[in-house]
Copies of this chain bind each other. A is one copy, B any other.
């Protein structure tokens, strides 16, 4: 690892720092390391300090359209060096959730090419005939302008048939409803979940992304550290809920979309709260 900040000490958690005992850190991305394309100040330094102090670090995101390979470029722009091994996106976590439940399962997919890549990477068999499907996996089929990618519109019918006729299991990458975008909001995976759930009067069998614990559990298994010795660092209620469900230490940062007041008004009490990730590192008590 290149030393971007050679003058900072290896582990800035002082004796008595409540996070000193944590050996693993799972970071949410947007609102924690960046806001859209803009980096959060000193976030790269904070990550390097943790790594040099011997902490293990994983980054998680509910993104359902990109593979981990796609995501590396985003981290390069943020100035945080990562490999695929450091990333757990909902595409990847979903693929592994299915692959662990039924290795090599036949999957009918609705979603983007990044999801396809991760499903294939987990050894699953993608099928075009809905009647052959053992699983239906849905991610967002919308691009950043709100247009449906490729032939995904017609795949709603395929997914419906796989669930209705073939008895496939129904797994969704994340429950995200809408996102802000340049010309107005755009739909998330929730559009597909809603369409299928309404038609079949049935919820998905599993939703992998936050606030579910599944995505966090996939990250924890990567860290190989018990959840009680790991912290989740996020800016949203969904991060804190996923962390709580997995039994982790929950760290809220005020650098994202949700205020701490709003978080607490939802009845969620994080274990710790800091202005941003660098403040978590430099905290000296108080």
Contact = CB atoms under 8 A, between A and B. Distances in A.
Interface of A: 130-131, 142, 146-148, 152-154, 156-158, 160-161, 164-165, 177-178, 183-188, 190-201
A163 to B, nearest CB: 10
Nearest to A177: B199
B184 A198 contact: no
Contacts of A130: 184
Contact of A199 (B148, B152, B183, B194): B194
A23 B20 CA distance: 84
Contacts of A161: 146, 183-185
A128 B198 CA distance: 27
Given A148-B154, A153-B152, A157-B147, A184 B199 contact: no
9 contacts: A131-B184, A146-B158, A147-B153, A177-B200, A178-B199, A190-B198, A192-B195, A195-B198, A197-B198
A153 B148 contact: yes
Contacts of A154: 146-148
Number of copies: 2
A254 B117 CA distance: 52
A93 to B, nearest CB: 21
A164 B193 contact: no
A95 B268 CA distance: 46
A164 B196 CA distance: 21
B198 A186 contact: no
Interface centre among A158, A192, A194, A201 (most CB of B within 10 A): A194
A200 B191 CA distance: 10
Contacts of A157: 142, 146-147, 184, 186-187
A160 B147 contact: no
A191 B195 contact: yes
A110 B17 CA distance: 56
A130 B186 CA distance: 12
Contact of A196 (B160, B194, B199): B194
